[in-house]
Amino acid sequence: PVPSRGAREAAAMASGIPGDHMSKATVGAPPGTSQVRIGRLELECGRVIEDAVLAASTYGTLNAAGTNAVIVGHSLTSDSHVHQWWSKLLSATGTGSDGSHAEAPGHGKCLDTRRFFVVCFNYLGSCYGSSSPLTEGGFAAFPVPVTMRDQARAMLRAARMLGVNQVALAIGGSMGAMLALEIGLEGGPTMVRSVCAVAGCARHTDWATGHSEVQRRAIFADPLWRGGAYPADSPPREGLGLARMAAMLTYRTAASFESKFARQGAHRPCPSELEAQAGDWSTSARGTAPDGASVDTTGGIAQAPPARKPRAGAVAADARTGSPEPTPARTAGQGASGVSLPYWSVESYLHHQGGKFPARFDPGCYVALTYTLDTHDVGRGRGGVEAALARLEVPLLVVGVDSDGLYPLGLQQRMARAARFSTLAVLSSPHGHDGFLVEIDRLNEVIVEWMSASGPRSRL
């Protein structure tokens, strides 16, 4: 018998919640990327990046006419290595220590490198090889915001410098979907032949912007932020980790958390375990404790062991003067009265995600990119969202995730209604927004079907 949709979703949720799709990344340009220098870039905010650089990963070969390019937009904290996060869409997978890619069969893959020259550019402001606060003298010196439209213009310029005369497809998920829309509108039908926007929106919502601001404030509240003028060897890791913890909740669903964690107690890892996996992330957010904590898998309360002393040099602002002063940082798991508190599996999961994230991302870059997201509005200066989408004169595939709480399905439905040559597809997933990274096989099927059946006007 075929399991019901409810049974399939329950099994999927019980099998585990997806973790970090970029677990192998570190700050800096990934091995195998190239850098495209696009020169002086004037931004919508009126500021300038004098010698703008975009890191790029490429797959396949550009044809003699320069017309078989596919530009892929990545998500907020990804790098340009498509094979790391959308490998099942791409016919080039795997990477060696030198960044080389092993070819895999292209049959049935929407990003078939036998047909297409696939290129992904890292965003301006990101910490993976493009111009960013890390390359421009710090956050205070980097122009903020770099809008999504700025990003699209920069990437179209970079594509032309690579010899691209026409983009067969602009595609992306989440933040990458917003980029794909702007590339389609900025490039126009003579430059861009089709667009695919997955789990994105035409205009960043107040709901999503609110989440961005909470995450930024977590970073700003870290005393090591220093107005963005922090030294490279002492970034505000704790603030960035807390921002990541908050973000992880927006990428999932309440149902997936309930099914996975089921109010189970968790082992509270010892300091050496956490320091090995996360570096010097503040113990106050890790919830560290000595060995010996028990695991309660029956759903009962796991008592936290006594708190250990804070790391050396922990500081907090004096409430009256705002000046830093040494203070005992209360460890998670111990209340103000010193009474041990429960420690749940969901806390352990979030502490793990927040603890390892600062090893692969920069706080100033995170702030800059969330501001980029918040500027997104295809209707700005184009008569509104519906008018702008109506100007998109090429086939558009809009893909939504039915459980997405960050960019709900209604946003994709609105896009599909407004665009004249649109197709709407819905992915069924219990995992929320990150369904676009999890339901890869189905996503590939949807895109391949659209590419094959959308007619001579849009055939790729």
Which amino acids are annotated catalytic?
A: 174, 404, 433
Q: Is 132 helix (H, G, I), strand (E, B) or coil?
A: coil
Tokens of 403: 């459980």
Task: Give me the amino acid identity at 295.
Answer: V
Please tell me the distance from the alpha carbon of residue 178 to that of residue 378, in angstroms, as a whole number: 8
Please tell me the distance from the alpha carbon of residue 125 to that of residue 366, in angstroms, as a whole number: 8
Q: How many residues does the chain have?
A: 460
Instruction: Name every residue whose Cβ is closer than 8 Å to that of residue 383 and which is 6 or more positions away in sequence.
Output: none
Please tell me the distance from the alpha carbon of residue 193 to that of residue 389, in angstroms, as a whole number: 15
- Between the alpha carbon of residue 4 and those of residues 8, 10, 54, 148, the distances in Å are 6, 10, 46, 41
Residue with tokens 């905010």: 45
Tokens of 388: 């702008």
Tokens of 306: 């006594």
With CA atoms as reference, report the closest residue to 204 among 222, 183, 238, 179.
179
The whole-angstrom distance between residue 354's C-alpha and the CA centroid of its chain comes to 14
Compute the chain's Rg from CA coordinates: 23
Give backbone dihedrals phi and psi of 445, rounded to 5 degrees, phi first: -60, -45
Tokens of 311: 């790391």
